[in-house]
Chain A
Amino acid sequence: MSTASTTWHHIRRSPFQSLGAIIMMTISFFVFTAFFVITNGMSQVLSYFENKPEITIFLKDGLDKDTVENVQKELAAYPNIKEIKFISKDKALAIYREQNKDNPLLLEMVSASILPASFEVSAYEPKVLQDIANNFGNRKDVVDEIVYQKDVIDSLLNWTSTIRKVGLVTLAVLGSVSFLFIFTVITMKITGRKDEIKISRLLGASGWYTSRPFLLEGVFYGLIGVILGSSFCLAAFYFTRNSINQFFNPVTFLTLNPIFYAKAIGIELLSGIFLGLFASWVGVSRLIKF
């Protein structure tokens, strides 16, 4: 009987223990995949904001051309300014149309008159942007609203950091529970097959020979957990991708790059194999002498 068929025999002989181990690993790798995809999505959002102008000054409606030119001159007078871009009402509408071209309902509801004109300013020195934000924040006569990207980025960084921390803690807890579960299942199976192991050893089986089916069983749980967990998670993202990407528009939160998913699954497969193998190895080394 080959190692693989002995392993399969062990799994079939205690199906509920095996099912428990598979469910536990599936949950762990479902979360692992979700963490991977969400972290990547958050990076996309961050990168989008980091590459955008760092401060946007929305102007009040009805300003004359001279007033707008004066504001532009005032902005240009600040040192270390990288770029000042004026977005007129018409241009704002064009951008809005481009961003929402797939949603005719949103396009119908908006015209150039309700979109404000704005200045998008980027600088080499972040402190300059802070000064601009402070000075123009009090200019209620010309400025309607200031969106300072630093606040957005800081907020996003906080979110990303929190998601990362919560994700890592959740993964650590689930990883530990999975480890303990597989360890316990393998230990119980070895104990249940104590006599068989004893007989095999008397027939000349080495420690490695008797351990192999149990180690392979751990690897099996890891692999099945990764396959099921990542499949369920990716399927869930696949069916909700339009809504999620629409919510984060214009950022593509759920990437469609197959290389990203191939890498993610590759890393998960290695993690699954390692987790299963390590847990079963700890169980085996406690009960089988080499």
Chain B
Amino acid sequence: MKIVFSAVSKHYGPIIALKEINFEITEGEFVFLVGPSGAGKSTILKLILNQIRPSTGEITVGEFNINHKTRPRAEKIRKNIGVIFQDYQLIPDKTVEENISLALDIINYPSKERPVRIEEVLTQVGLLQRRHLFPAQLSGGELQRSALARALSIKPKLILADEPTGNLDPENSWNLIRLLKDINNNGTTILMTTHNYDIINSLDKRIITIENGGIIKDDHPAKGEAVPDNVTSKVTKKKKKKVKK
């Protein structure tokens, strides 16, 4: 799914959250959105999700156009987007399976095919054995994988990941990144906000840096580093060395 921001500004009263930003994300790209807290990252995600309306400019999300005057019904856009949040946003009194089933129900996924689809995504994220557990019974990594499974279940054209590794330990963070990378390899566009430069620097992906509501940098890192196969980052390795000493 293609995303285009054309001279988009967003004001909250006197506060300027975004100042005439322009960027385009093509179909199948994996893009990191980085910047300090309050830079405007979440505002961009909210605009894409049609939670808020731009003050000026125009946003194109797939076939939908959003501007300060008109916007399509939010659900039309959201049904094509898988969202992963830092705090998982799973419904506490539903099991992992029921949380995924809810997402499928919302997009009117054929009910007969739902069990198969749920099994597929739970296998993909390695949570098939945990399908009947409630969020309170899962670890942080499992919760985030559940959220990913829910996002994947609807076969989204775009995945928005809002600091998905924020509450995860390095090992689980790398597991999640590997999954996202695999998904991206299958053609799904991914836009991920993060503060984890360890991860950003390890992937050869586009990085949009945002500060004070404006884009200050939009480029690929000079040299990428592949996600380590043993699922441990440099940080994790250092920690392990310290433990040995």
Contact = CB atoms under 8 A, between A and B. Distances in A.
B106 A205 contact: yes
B79 A204 contact: yes
A195 B51 CA distance: 15
Interface string A65-103: 000000000000000000000000000000000000000
Interface stretch (B7-15, B17-25, B97-105, B226-234): B97-105
Interface string A1-18: 110000001000100000
Interface in A182-237: 195-196, 199-206, 209
Given A1-B101, A205-B106, A209-B106, A199 B79 contact: no
A201 B93 CA distance: 17
A204 B150 CA distance: 12
Contacts of B154: 203-204
**Which secondary structure dominates chain A's binding surface?**
helix
Interface of B: 49, 51, 73-75, 77-81, 83, 89-91, 93-94, 98, 101-103, 105-107, 150, 154
A197 to B, nearest CB: 10
B91 A202 contact: no
Given A1-B105, A200-B102, A200-B106, A205 B75 contact: yes
11 contacts: A9-B93, A13-B93, A200-B102, A201-B75, A202-B51, A202-B89, A203-B83, A204-B78, A204-B106, A204-B154, A209-B106
Given A201-B74, A202-B83, A205-B75, A1 B102 contact: yes
Contacts of A13: 93
A172 B15 CA distance: 51
B93 A202 contact: no
Contacts of B81: 204
Given A13-B93, A196-B91, A202 B101 contact: no
A147 B167 CA distance: 92
A205 B108 CA distance: 10
A2 B98 CA distance: 11
B98 A1 contact: yes
Nearest to B88: A199
B89 A199 contact: yes
A13 B93 CA distance: 9
A208 B148 CA distance: 26
A200 B101 CA distance: 12
B89 A206 contact: no
Contacts of B83: 202-203
A14 to B, nearest CB: 11
Minimum-distance CB pairs A-B, first 3: A204-B78, A204-B79, A206-B75
A266 B230 CA distance: 69
Most buried by A among B51, B101, B102: B102
Contacts of A1: 94, 98, 101-102, 105
Given A201-B74, A203-B102, 14 more contacts: A1-B101, A9-B93, A199-B89, A199-B90, A199-B91, A202-B49, A202-B83, A203-B78, A203-B106, A203-B150, A203-B154, A204-B154, A206-B73, A209-B75
B105 to A, nearest CB: 6
Contacts of B94: 1
Contacts of B93: 9, 13
A57 to B, nearest CB: 78
Nearest to A290: B73
Contacts of B73: 206
Contacts of A204: 74-75, 77-81, 106-107, 154
Contacts of A200: 102, 106
Most buried by A among B51, B77, B103, B150: B103
Nearest to A198: B89
Contacts of B107: 204
A196 B91 CA distance: 6
Nearest to A205: B106
A181 B238 CA distance: 61
Contact of A203 (B51, B98, B103): B103
A199 B105 CA distance: 13
A195 B106 CA distance: 16
A81 B89 CA distance: 87
B240 to A, nearest CB: 37
Contacts of A9: 93
Nearest to A289: B74
B72 to A, nearest CB: 12
A195 B73 CA distance: 20
A17 B77 CA distance: 36
Nearest to A197: B91
B121 to A, nearest CB: 14
B79 to A, nearest CB: 4
A1 B99 CA distance: 10
A150 to B, nearest CB: 68
A104 to B, nearest CB: 67
